[in-house]
Amino acid sequence: MTTTTKDQIAVLREQGYVIVHGMVPAARREAMLAVVNDTLLVPAGSLEFEADLRYPGAPASREADGGATIRRLRDAYARDAAFAAWACDPAIAAWMTAYFDEPALLSRAHHNCVMTKHPLYGSLTGWHRDIRYWSFGRPDLVSTWLALGHESSENGGLWVVPGSHAMTFAADQFDSEQFFVADDPRNVPVLAQAIPLTLAPGDVLLFHCRTLHAASQNATDHVKISVVNTYHAASNPPLPGTRSASVPDVPLDVAADQVQ
Ligand SMILES: O=C(O)CCC(=O)C(=O)O
């Protein structure tokens, strides 16, 4: 089992992701879940709806059955202190500083959200690298995916292709929206290596922005809820004028005794 930050970073560098088990205790998860459940009952703040993206399985419009199904509670950082505290948690700050080997920042323009995957109208997300969303000088960002409940392929948990962060693909192996074309003969052997991830409540998946990942629909009766944040090195700021630079990043504070 992976234990030290140094070991975890080595695993992430090797396979493009690493799972840190039991990082967030129950009381802290429940505080976050309470905010999410309140928001699902009485929608508030900036939200992304399944019908906006219309990935496979999503309602055809906001007016259709299930049209009000929420996919993302955006700007988790500003939504509640519990999410801001998690985003800038000293353990995360120390991890990212060690990974980048320099000061790190939270991006508020990317992820910085709670992802909810609902039964029935929660959609399937095709194979992609998250770097498709972003504009930075170097494709070296790391995201944290905190499972607030159990996650597996049954409830729409993530699948990954180990090592894909280090693979080189031709531009036309991706479609116009930067999804990896699943039936392209060059991509079939790559996706044959995909594995489903199982996360227990409080587990944190850390994954590289070039790691291929996907997720199916939620075949259970319960909403799956995950908190997702993205970080980059201070020397790799978002490119000026892009969406990545549209919201100020948050520098992470690291106490000297936490840097490993
Ligand atoms: O939960 C999912 O459907 C996958 C989400 C994802 O990979 C993304 O939004 O980048």
CA of 259 to the centre of ligand 1 (A): 31
Is the confidence at residue 178, as pLDDT, over 70?
Answer: yes
User: Is 159 contained in some domain?
Assistant: yes
User: Is 58 contained in some domain?
Assistant: no
With 0-12 CB in 10 A as exposed, 13-18 as middle and 19+ as buried, what is 260?
A: exposed
Q: Select the more confidently predicted residue: 154 or 2.
A: 154
Which has the minimum average pLDDT: 56-65, 78-87, 141-150? 56-65
- 């299930």: which residue's tokens? 66
User: Is 57 contained in some domain?
Assistant: no
Question: pLDDT at position 257, please?
Answer: 54
CA of 117 to the centre of ligand 1 (A): 9
- Give the DSSP per-residue string, the chain: ---SHHHHHHHHHHHSEEEETT-S-HHHHHHHHHHHHHHHHS--SSEEEHHHH--TTS-SSTTSTTTT-EEEE--HHHH-HHHHHHHT-HHHHHHHHHHHTS-EEEESSSS-EEEEE-BTTPPPEEEE-GGGG--BSSS-EEEEEEESS-B-GGGT-EEE-TTGGG----GGGB-TTSBB-TT-TTTHHHHTT-EE--B-TT-EEEEETT--EEE--B-SSS-EEEEEEEEEETTSPBPTTSGGGSS--EEPP--GGG--
Q: Atom 9 of ligand 1 has which residue's CA nearest to it?
A: 125
Q: How far from the centroid of its chain's Cα atoms is residue 186's Cα? A: 26
Is the confidence at residue 179, as pLDDT, over 70?
Answer: yes
Which has the minimum average pLDDT: 10-19, 49-58, 74-83, 98-107? 49-58
State whether the beta carbon of 115 lies less than 6 angstroms from ligand 1: yes
State whether the beta carbon of 213 lies less than 6 angstroms from ligand 1: yes
User: Is 91 contained in some domain?
Assistant: yes
pLDDT in tens, 242-257: 999 999 999 999 865 5
> Per the structure block, which two tokens stand in for 76?
């988790």
What is d(CA 8, CA 70) in angstroms, rounded to the nearest whole number? 33
Is the confidence at residue 240, as pLDDT, over 60?
Answer: yes
Question: pLDDT at position 260, please?
Answer: 42
User: Is 81 contained in some domain?
Assistant: yes
Is the confidence at residue 259, as pLDDT, over 70?
Answer: no
Range of the domain at 167: 5-40+74-258
- CA distances 204 to 170, 173, 200, Å, are 31, 30, 9
CA of 119 to the centre of ligand 1 (A): 15
Is the confidence at residue 258, as pLDDT, over 60?
Answer: no
- The per-residue pLDDT of the chain, averaged, comes to 95
Question: pLDDT at position 133, please?
Answer: 86
Q: Select the more confidently predicted residue: 220 or 260.
A: 220
Yes or no: say if 114 and 72 are a contact pair by the CB < 8 Å rule: yes
- Residues 161-188, mean pLDDT to the nearest whole number: 97
For the chain, the domain total comes to: 1
Is the confidence at residue 130, as pLDDT, over 60?
Answer: yes
- Residues 16-23, mean pLDDT to the nearest whole number: 98
Is the confidence at residue 1, as pLDDT, over 60?
Answer: no
Total Cβ atoms within 10 A of residue 247? 16
User: Residue 254 maps to which CATH number?
Assistant: 2.60.120.620
CA of 45 to the centre of ligand 1 (A): 20
What is d(CA 229, CA 110) in angstroms, rounded to the nearest whole number? 7
CA of 241 to the centre of ligand 1 (A): 25
User: Is 68 contained in some domain?
Assistant: no
- CA distances 2 to 25, 58, 141, 207, 211, Å, are 18, 37, 21, 15, 19
Question: pLDDT at position 255, please?
Answer: 64
pLDDT in tens, 185-239: 999 999 999 999 999 999 999 999 999 999 999 999 999 999 999 999 999 999 9
User: Is 69 contained in some domain?
Assistant: no
Yes or no: say if 164 and 211 are a contact pair by the CB < 8 Å rule: yes
CA of 57 to the centre of ligand 1 (A): 14
Q: What are phi and psi of 116, to 5 degrees?
A: -120, 130
- CA distances 83 to 73, 126, 147, 169, 227, Å, are 11, 27, 13, 35, 8
User: Is 60 contained in some domain?
Assistant: no
Which of the listed residues 118, 158, 199 should we mutate to test ligand 1's pocket, taking the one with most ligand atoms within 8 A of CB?
158
> Per the structure block, which two tokens stand in for 66?
């299930």
- Residues 165-182, mean pLDDT to the nearest whole number: 97
Q: Atom 7 of ligand 1 has which residue's CA nearest to it?
A: 214
State whether the beta carbon of 129 lies less than 6 angstroms from ligand 1: no
pLDDT in tens, 61-105: 999 999 999 999 999 999 999 999 999 999 999 999 999 999 999
Is the confidence at residue 26, as pLDDT, over 60?
Answer: yes
Question: pLDDT at position 254, please?
Answer: 80
State whether the beta carbon of 130 lies less than 6 angstroms from ligand 1: yes
